Amino acid sequence: MAILETQQLTYVYSEGTPFQKTAVDNVNLKIDEGEMVGVMGHTGSGKSTLIQHFNGLLRPTSGKILLDGEDIWADKKKIRDVRFKVGLVFQYPEYQIFEETVYKDIAFGPKNMGLDEAEIKRRILETANDLGLKEELLQRSPFELSGGQKRRVAIAGVMAMNPRVLILDEPTAGLDPAGRDKILGHIKKYHERTKNTILIVSHSMEDIAGFADKILVMNKSKLFCYDETEKVFARAEELSAIGLDVPQITKVFMKLKAQGLDFGKDVYTMEYAKNLLLKKLSERGGA
Amino acid sequence: MLKDITIGQYFPGSSLIHRLDPRFKIIILFIYILMLFAGDSFICLGVGAVFTVFAILLSRIPMKMFLKSLKPLLPVLLLTALMNLFFVTSGDVIFKWKFIKITSEAVSISIFMFVRITLLIMGSSLLTYTTSPITLTDAIERLLSPLKKLKMPVHELAMMMSIALRFIPTLFEETEKIMSAQKARGAEIDSGSLTARAKNMVSILVPLFISSFRRADELATAMECRCYRGGEGRTRLRQLKSAPRDYIALTITLMFYICNLIVGKL
Amino acid sequence: MENIIEIKNLHFSYPAEEDDTPVEVLKGIDLEIRKGEFVAVLGHNGSGKSTLAKHINGILLPTSGTVTVGGISTADEEKIFDLRCRAGMVFQNPDNQIVSSVVEEDVAFALENLGVPYEEMRRRVDDALKDVNMYEYRHHSPAQLSGGQKQRIAIAGIIAMKPECIILDEPTAMLDPQGRKEVMSVIRRMNREHGITIVLITHYMDEAAQCDRVVVMDKGNVILDNTPREVFSHVEQVKAIGLDVPQVTELAWELKKAGYDMPQDIITEDECAEAVKRLFERE
C-alpha cells in the first residue's frame, strides 16, 4: 500500500514573472509504507522543492499529493495535521534549535501536536535513545553541545512527533566521516524500531548505497527514476552522465568491464565488492 | 518570496539620471527640497512640478512607479490635507455644517500642501530608484568625509550600512528557512491565538539572533584576515568621478531654484 | 626547497572559563611546509586542525612555541598585515566571509584596506576574478551566486593580495559535488600555475588524495605526515581515528588481508582496476 503518492505533481516558481521556472515537472510516484528511500539529484534538480510538497510546505501549481490515499490539500485547514504525519528535517537543522534545554526543544513539535506530558516524555526518551543522546544531556542547554550532538537534538525534535513518513534533507552535510556514519546508524535504528517510511536526501551515493531499499533520482525538474537500489545503480553510466557521482568502487568495476573483465554484476558497496572478488578469486584458484 | 524584496527599490538602468554622480544627485535633491519649501505660491510649486516631471522623463522609469511610491504614504498625505482643511480658519467661509467650517484659504492651503509633499516624495524616490543603495552609501560617506576631522565616525557608519545591505538578502533567506523548519514542527506562524503566535515568533527570532551573532563573529575574523583596520589610508575600487553632465545638471537645478525665487517675489 | 611555514613545538589552550581547567587543543606540533607544496590536513571534528589553521596567519597566537611564515613570526604585531598578505585564509561558510554586495568590490576589499592605488587595484581584481573564472560575474550581487561560486569569490579576494600561501579551512564542506569540483580545480590551478603554497584542511579523502602531502591530526597531535599513498596505506590506523580511506585503498587492503598479492599504495581507480586485473591474470 502506497503511503505517499504524487499525481502529475507540478510546481512553478514566480509564475507570470520573467523569473518563472518549473521546479517540479509532472512527477508521478508511489512510495510504499516502511521503505527506506534515498533521494538524489544535483542542486537545482528540483529534489528540495519536491520534498517540501510532501508535508504541505509548498502547494502544487497543479497535480496532487496523496497521503494514505487522501489528497492532502482536500481541506486546507488540515494541512497542519499533514505536517505531523510527514516530518521534515531541513539541511543544517541545528540552526532551528531555540529552547533553553534539550528536552524542551525536542518537546516543541509533540507539544504543538497537543500531546499530554506523559506521552511527550515517553517519546522524548525513546527518540533520545534512538539517537544516542544520554538522559543527563536532556536538561542541558542545547547551545553547549557539540555540532554533531546539536544535529541529533534537532533530528530528535522531528522524530519525536513520530511521523509516519520522515524526510531528512542531507542529514550528514558538513560532518566528518565518523559523525556521518553515526547519524546514519541512528536513523537506521529509528527505522528498525518504528518501521516508519524514511526518505533521505544525499549527494553521496556511497552513503545511499549503504542504507536505501529504493532510490529516487531527480534531474532537470523531472523524475529521472524511482526504483530498487540495485536497478538504479545498474544505470551507473547514465547517472554519471547527468552529473551524479557514482561510488568509486562502482567506477572501478565499470573500468574492469571496459577492459574485458566482466563480473556480470553491478557493484556499489565495498562489502559486496570484497565478497564478490574473493569468491571469484577462490573459484579461479580452485580450478 | 521574502528575498525578492529590495531595499530602497533600485531600478537598474543607464539613463542620464542613472549615470549622474551620486554625490551630485544628493546635492541636487537637497536644492530641490529647498526649492519646494522656498515659495508659497502655486506658481512656485508649478516650477517645482515642471522640474520633477522633466527629471522623471529623463530617468525613463515609468510614471506609475512614482505613483506607487506614494501609496504607502497616502494616509499621511491625506491627513495633512484634512488637518489644513479643517483647522485653517482665515479667508471666506465656503462651507459650513455644525461646527465644521471650511474656508477658501483652507482649500487652497490643503491642495498646496498635498502637492508639495507629493513632489517631495517623488523627487526622493527618483534618487533611490536611479541609485543603488551601495552607491548611495558610498556617496554619503564621501559627502560627509569633511566631518571626519570633527571625529565623526563617518567611515564606520558607512561600513556598517554597507554590511547591512550585504546581509539583508542573506537574513531574509535564513528567516524563510527557519520559518519553514518550525512550521514543519507544527508552529503556527500566521494563525492561532495571540500567545501561541508570540511563542512561535520566539522560535524564529532566537535561532535568527544566534545565527546572526555567529555570522558577525565569522565575518569579523574574515575581515581581519583581509587586513581591515578602519578607514585610515583606505583606497577604493569604486571611483566616483564627476563629469561635465553633473555640473550641467547642477546648473540647471540652480537655475530652476533662482527662477523659483524670482517667481515667488512677483 | 626552502620552507615557507615553520611551526615549532606549538602548544595552544583556549583560555579557561571560570572553574574549568584550560583545554589543550594543540599539544606540541612541529610542522614545516615547503614553498609550492600542496598539503592536506586531515582530522575529525575536534582534532585541532582548524585551530592549527588559525595559527598560520596570526588569528590565534600560540600559548607556547612559534609559528613563522616566510620568516615573519605570527607574534610580531608590527608585521601582522604583512603576514596576512603572505598567508591568506579562506573559511568554510562562503556567506560569512563576503563583505560587499558587489562581487568585484568584495574581491577588492583587502586591496582597499592596504591602500593599493586604483590602477593597480583594478588590474589585480580583474586578474583574480579571471583566475577563478568569475570575471563575467563581477557586477553581480553575491546573493545571486551558488555556494561554489561564492567560495570562488572568497578565494579571488585572497588571490588579489598576491599571497605566497593560502590556508583553506574546509572550503568545500558546505558545497554540493559540483561546487566542490569547481573549488578544487581552482585551488589546484593556483598551486600548479602560480606556485602558491596550499594548506587544505578537509575531511574529504578524495580531496586529500589529490595533494602532494597529507598531514593527519588526532587529539592535537600530528600522527601521520607523508604522501597520500603512504598515509592511506595505514588503513586501520586512519579508520581508528574516525576517518576514511578511499574505497579503492580499502579494497586493496581487504584483498591483501585475505592473502592475495595486492599493492598497498593504491589511491586511484585506474591503479585499482589494473591491480585487480593483474590478480586475475596471474591466478
Q: How far is A65 from A165, CA to CA, in rounded Å?
A: 14
Q: Which residues, 6+ apart, have CB-to-CB distance to B52 below 8 Å?
A: B119, B122, B123, B126
Cβ contact C178–A42 (<8 Å) = yes
The alpha carbon of B164 is separated from its chain's Cα centroid by a whole number of angstroms, namely: 16
The whole domain housing C14 covers: 3-245
A contacts of B173 (beta carbons < 8 Å): none
| Residue B56 shares a structural domain with residue B159 | no
| Residue C46 shares a structural domain with residue C146 | yes
- Report yes or no on B54 lying in a domain: yes
Calculate mean pLDDT across residues A92-113.
Answer: 94
B contacts of A57 (beta carbons < 8 Å): 180, 183-184
Cβ contact A96–B182 (<8 Å) = yes
Number of domains comprising chain B: 2
Closest CB from A14, A143, A158 relative to B185: A158
Identify the chains in contact with B, defined as 3+ C-beta pairs within 8 A: A, C
Q: How far is B27 from B252, CA to CA, in rounded Å?
A: 13
Per-residue pLDDT of B147-185, as tens digits, reads: 888 888 999 999 998 999 889 889 998 999 999 999 999
Cβ contact C104–B229 (<8 Å) = no
CATH of the domain at C135: 3.40.50.300
Q: What is the pTM of this model?
A: 0.88
| Residue C27 shares a structural domain with residue C90 | yes
Q: Which residues, 6+ apart, have CB-to-CB distance to C31 below 8 Å?
A: C5, C6, C7, C10, C215, C222, C225
A contacts of B211 (beta carbons < 8 Å): 95
Cβ contact C95–B163 (<8 Å) = no
Closest CB from C250, C258, C269 relative to A278: C258
| Residue C216 shares a structural domain with residue C272 | no
Q: Quick one: DSSP state of residue A163?
A: -
Strand order in the sheet with A2-13: A21-32, A2-13, A62-67, A70-71
| Residue B159 shares a structural domain with residue B209 | yes
pLDDT of residue B6: 43
Q: Would you give per-residue pLDDT tens digits along chain C (283 residues)?
A: 789 999 999 999 987 766 677 888 999 999 999 999 999 999 988 899 999 999 999 999 999 999 999 999 999 999 999 999 999 999 999 999 999 989 999 999 999 999 999 999 999 999 999 999 999 999 988 988 999 999 999 999 999 999 999 999 999 999 988 899 999 999 999 999 999 999 999 988 889 999 999 999 999 999 999 999 999 999 999 999 989 899 999 999 999 998 888 898 898 999 999 999 888 887 5
C contacts of A178 (beta carbons < 8 Å): 44, 242-243
Instruction: Give yes or no for A252 touching C (CB within 8 A).
Output: yes
| Residue B120 shares a structural domain with residue B195 | no
The whole domain housing B10 covers: 2-131+240-265
Q: Which residue of B has its CA nearest to C84?
A: B225
- Report yes or no on B89 lying in a domain: yes
| CA A149-A151-A157 angle, 5° bins | 105
| Residue C254 shares a structural domain with residue C235 | no
Q: Is the dihedral of CA B248, B250, B251, B256 positive or negative?
A: positive
Residue corresponding to grid cell 501549481: A61
- Report yes or no on B231 lying in a domain: no
Q: Quick one: DSSP state of residue A70?
A: E
Per-residue pLDDT of A181-199, as tens digits, reads: 999 999 999 999 999 999 9
Q: Is the pLDDT of residue B231 over 80?
A: yes
B contacts of C114 (beta carbons < 8 Å): 227
- Report yes or no on B147 lying in a domain: no
CA atoms within 13 A on the CB side of B200: 23
Q: How far is B87 from B93, CA to CA, in rounded Å?
A: 12
Q: Where are the domains of chain A?
A: 2-246, 247-287
Number of domains comprising chain C: 2
Per-residue pLDDT of C155-195, as tens digits, reads: 999 999 999 999 999 999 999 888 999 999 999 999 999 99
Q: Is the pLDDT of residue A180 over 60?
A: yes
Q: How far is B32 from chain C (nearest CA, A)?
A: 30
Per-residue pLDDT of A13-28, as tens digits, reads: 877 777 788 999 999 9
In CATH, the number for domain A2-246 is: 3.40.50.300
Q: Is the pLDDT of residue A75 over 80?
A: yes
Instruction: Give yes or no for B262 touching A (CB within 8 A).
Output: no
Task: Provide the ipTM.
Answer: 0.91
Cβ contact C178–A43 (<8 Å) = yes
Q: How far is A222 from A46, CA to CA, in rounded Å?
A: 8
C contacts of A174 (beta carbons < 8 Å): 92, 170, 173-174
pLDDT of residue B5: 41
| Residue C168 shares a structural domain with residue C255 | no
- Report yes or no on B73 lying in a domain: yes
Q: Which three cell numbers stand for residue C86?
A: 603572505
Q: Is the dihedral of CA C251, C254, C260, C262 positive or negative?
A: positive
Instruction: Give yes or no for A17 touching C (CB within 8 A).
Output: no
Q: Tell me what the pLDDT averaged over chain C comes to.
A: 92
